[in-house]
Structure 1
Amino acid sequence: MARRSIGQERFGFAGGGRAASSLDTLVSLIDWNPIGELLDPLYPAAKGEPAWPPLAMVKALLLSIWYDLSDVMLAEALDDRASFRRFCGFSANEATPERTAFVRFRRLLVAHKLDRTLFEAITTQLKSKAVTVKTGTLVDATIIASATEGDADARWVKHKGKRAVHGFKAHVGADADTALVEEVSITSANINDGKAGPDALPDNPGEVFADSAYRGNHFRDAVRAKGGIPRIVATGMWGRDEQETLRKLHEWNQPIHRVRGRIEKIFGTWKRCYGLRRMRWRGLAKAAVQVHLTAIAYNLKRTMNILAVLA
């Protein structure tokens, strides 16, 4: 399948005193050429209608996350907004993808299992700009409701004092200093945090801060195997004097809570700002696409903000 050529009329934006946009900064954060090369396996067929460039489609999906847009709203905004066109590489007057193009493209990402590859490639570039010295890692998980209770890959989970949720769980490892997401693993919602936690550990994690759900040898051994030091919230300690034991427990837990709590801001941004309150599509594979794209979108914005402070 041939690919369309886009952006040939780049001077279409000139002369109008174009408004500055944060998207212009975001698009310059990384080298997109190697990202485009990762997408080469898509659209391999020689026949059929010319396909939209995969890199432009990935950028469009990132826009849908930053602005919490449905496929219909994304198609309309891309057709109408100059900053969206520039970010994706479209010129001022050429055609842009319709809603169904995004549906087909997501299916290709799932079929070729490229969502994780894209996340790793983009995050590696961003870490080289923002992470100077690795000192620690935050590990936690968040539950995301399924698109429908008919999703066979999702599961019910019930925590004390909260309503039951049918959905998935995103297990995340983030840099303790920059709050950049370094590792992501997606499971059904009923998978224990401690069991899936090792999949959220980056290499050489430093001190690993986690809540009491991660206590137990399975997670601790995984941390040590990667050269890290476990800093996990304790629920109890041995001691003869009750008050002295409670004091030691508080002294151990407080520093962990103070650092570990930073990961809640990541989940808050994902859910309040990026529409990850609920999965948009059915199935574990498509849930993974949504979470990986959300993590990419978050890391790009986070890196932009970090570099703005350092400038």
Structure 2
Amino acid sequence: MADRVLGQLSLADGLAASDETIFDLVSKELDWAPIRTLLGQRSGPGSGNTSYPAEPLVRCLLLGMWHGLSDPALEAQIRDRLSFRRFAGFSLSDRTPDHSTLWRFREELTRERLIDKVFEEINRQLEEKGLIVKRGTLVDATFLQARGRPPKQPKKGHQGPVKPSADKDARWGKKGKKSTFGYKMHIGVDQEHTLIRRVEASDASVTDTEPADQLICGDEKAAYGDQAYYTHARHARLAAANIKDRLMRRPNKHHPELPPRHKLRNRLIAKVRAAVERPFAVFKERYGMRRLRFFNLTTNRTQCILAACAYNLRTMIGVLYPPDERRT
């Protein structure tokens, strides 16, 4: 059975047309045909209700990311807002998906790791547009709080099992004096426009340096990171790949005090790598990701990659259509 047909415009749709929005610019600049091919058809063989095609549902999830909406809130906004309908491909007469449909589709993206393919295709198109320059990759990680509360600490004299957290994948992580129960998001961004090239998620107990090699693409000219990322082995791997090591040096037991030249080097690197904080600020301030919404690592990973897709698309529009030149 074929997926249901959407977006057949009527006279009412033409009369309801509004000014061009950022969503329209995303639709115009991104070639959605390869993404449709990657996602494939959702309706199975045989009789029964037709399914929503995958592309409109991906567009819906992107709208939810850009506005920090839960699935029920996203359902309401898609139903009521003309700009949302137009971006997702729904006419005024089309029935829009409910929150359970959005939830199930996110699980499809998680189960089959289709979201990874969507992210890779978006980045391929960004590279074709010349937006990914490969002059340098900035790597960093940030804590994201778990949806579930941490395990309860046993009271003095308590006997028996401790009540576990509802989120069995979350763990404690510590940076300085601050501890966080939850997850970590690890990213590698292109130096030119802070477009995210690599993204991974882990529980909060994983150190920053463990997934670092996966964040370096291998085709950049330099890799930038703070002191947590420097090791002699990584320095050797970067040198072998002809990638300049721009990882900040740190003192150790043999050299408890950095020499002045390394302190100066660290300050110069810090000015460049500071740009990697911009995506994290967007995720937490605009996308509502200070606390994750799901109770397992795999679905939270999908949400992190969706956030990276949403961030890259909005950044693309910011570069191609500077605000002072954009028609509002």
What TM-score do the two structures reach when normalised by structure 1?
Answer: 0.92
CA distance in 1, matches of 2:175, 2:48: 50
Are positions 1:267 and 2:280 aligned together? yes
Which one of 265, 268, 287 corresponds to residue 255 of structure 1? 268
| Conserved 8 A contact 2:248-2:266 | yes
| Conserved 8 A contact 1:195-1:218 | no
Letter in structure 1 aligned against 2:304: V
Match of 1:159 in 2: 175
What TM-score do the two structures reach when normalised by structure 2?
Answer: 0.87
Letter in structure 1 aligned against 2:167: D
Match of 1:278 in 2: 291
Structure 1, 70-79 or 33-42: larger mean CA deviation: 33-42
Match of 1:235 in 2: 250
CA 1:239 to 1:52, structure 2 compared with 1: closer, same or farther past 3 Å?
Answer: closer
Alignment RMSD (CA, Å):
2.2
Q: Deviations over 1:14-64 (max 9, x none)?
A: 134523321111111210011011111644443432111110000000000
Aligned length: 307
CA 1:153 to 1:10, structure 2 compared with 1: closer, same or farther past 3 Å?
Answer: farther
Which one of 204, 217, 231 corresponds to residue 189 of structure 1? 204
Letter in structure 2 aligned against 1:120: E
CA distance in 2, matches of 1:8, 1:200: 42
Determine what percentage of the aligned residue pairs are the same residue.
32
**In the TM superposition, what is the alpha-carbon distance from 1:246 to its structure 2 partner?**
4.4
CA 1:288 to 1:48, structure 2 compared with 1: closer, same or farther past 3 Å?
Answer: farther
CA distance in 1, matches of 2:133, 2:97: 42
Show structure 2 runs of 5+ residues with no match. 150-165
CA 1:293 to 1:266, structure 2 compared with 1: closer, same or farther past 3 Å?
Answer: same
Match of 1:22 in 2: 22
In the TM superposition, 1:144-223 aligns within 5 A as 144-149=144-149, 150-162=166-178, 164-223=179-238
Match of 2:8 in 1: 8
| Conserved 8 A contact 1:2-1:46 | no
Are positions 1:289 and 2:311 aligned together? no
Counting helix residues as a fraction of each chain, which structure ranks higher? 1
In the TM superposition, 1:104-119 aligns within 5 A as 104-119=104-119
Q: Deviations over 1:60-92 (max 9, x none)?
A: 000000011111111111011111011011112
Match of 1:120 in 2: 120
Show structure 1 runs of 5+ residues with no match. none
**In the TM superposition, what is the alpha-carbon distance from 1:278 to its structure 2 partner?**
1.5
Match of 2:60 in 1: 60
CA distance in 2, matches of 1:11, 1:33: 27
**In the TM superposition, what is the alpha-carbon distance from 1:6 to its structure 2 partner?**
0.3
| Conserved 8 A contact 1:198-1:223 | no
Are positions 1:302 and 2:318 aligned together? no
Q: Deviations over 1:92-140 (max 9, x none)?
A: 2221001110111111111211111111111111222242642111011
| Conserved 8 A contact 2:59-2:87 | yes
| Conserved 8 A contact 1:43-1:51 | yes
3-state SS of 2:186 partner: strand
Letter in structure 2 aligned against 1:214: Y
**In the TM superposition, what is the alpha-carbon distance from 1:155 to its structure 2 partner?**
1.1
Letter in structure 1 aligned against 2:56: A
